[in-house]
Structure 1
Amino acid sequence: MEKKNSKQLPDFDALNDRVIAEASPSPTLVIKTNLDAKSMVEENPYYDPKATKAEKEKLEQFFD
């Protein structure tokens, strides 16, 4: 690996403003229940009412 890019990377041992976690070694399971919101806009921090139609469709596809 070349050394020229090493100055652009932060010192990960010195970072204290984020969590860098390892990936889970086991599979994860996500289940939708009747307690989940019926619409993707309810209580969704990723929903932006000012988003374009294409962005809204992409978000709907992701949460469906």
Structure 2
Amino acid sequence: MEPRQPGSNKMPDFDKLNDRLIAESSTSPMLVIKTNLDPEDTVENNPYYHDEEPKDPKEFKAYFEE
């Protein structure tokens, strides 16, 4: 049985692409700053919130609020 290949057959093989640059993640620490411009609600403009109620709303809000 052949492995399932999702996507279009017209797409080039990812390993053969030579016009892409994949940056490695930084090993140095990052600084994340909360400002007065950040929304008060954790679901507002949050890319991890998808219009449906999360499985555990308290845990979701606790993760994004500090």
- TM-score class normalised by the smaller sequence: 0.5 to 0.7
Q: Which runs of 5+ in 1 are unaligned?
A: 1-10
Partner-residue secondary structure (3-state), 2:25: coil
What amino acid maps onto 2:59 in structure 1?
Answer: K
Partner of 1:62: 63
Partner of 2:46: 44
Is the Cα contact below 8 Å between 2:54 and 2:60 reproduced in 1? Answer: no
The 5 A counterparts of 1:1-20 are 13-14=15-16, 20=22
Task: Report the TM-score, using the length of structure 2 for normalisation.
Answer: 0.54
Letter of the structure 1 residue corresponding to residue 62 of structure 2: Q
Alpha-carbon distance between aligned partners in 2 of 1:14 and 1:58, rounded to the nearest angstrom: 42
Higher relative contact order (CA 8 A, sep 6+): 2
Residue identity over aligned pairs, in percent, reads 52
Cα 1:57/1:21, change in 2 over 3 Å: farther
Q: How many residues are matched?
A: 52
Give the TM-score taking structure 1 as reference length.
0.55
Q: Pairwise CA RMSD of aligned residues?
A: 2.9
Give ranges in structure 2 of 5+ residues lacking alignment.
1-12
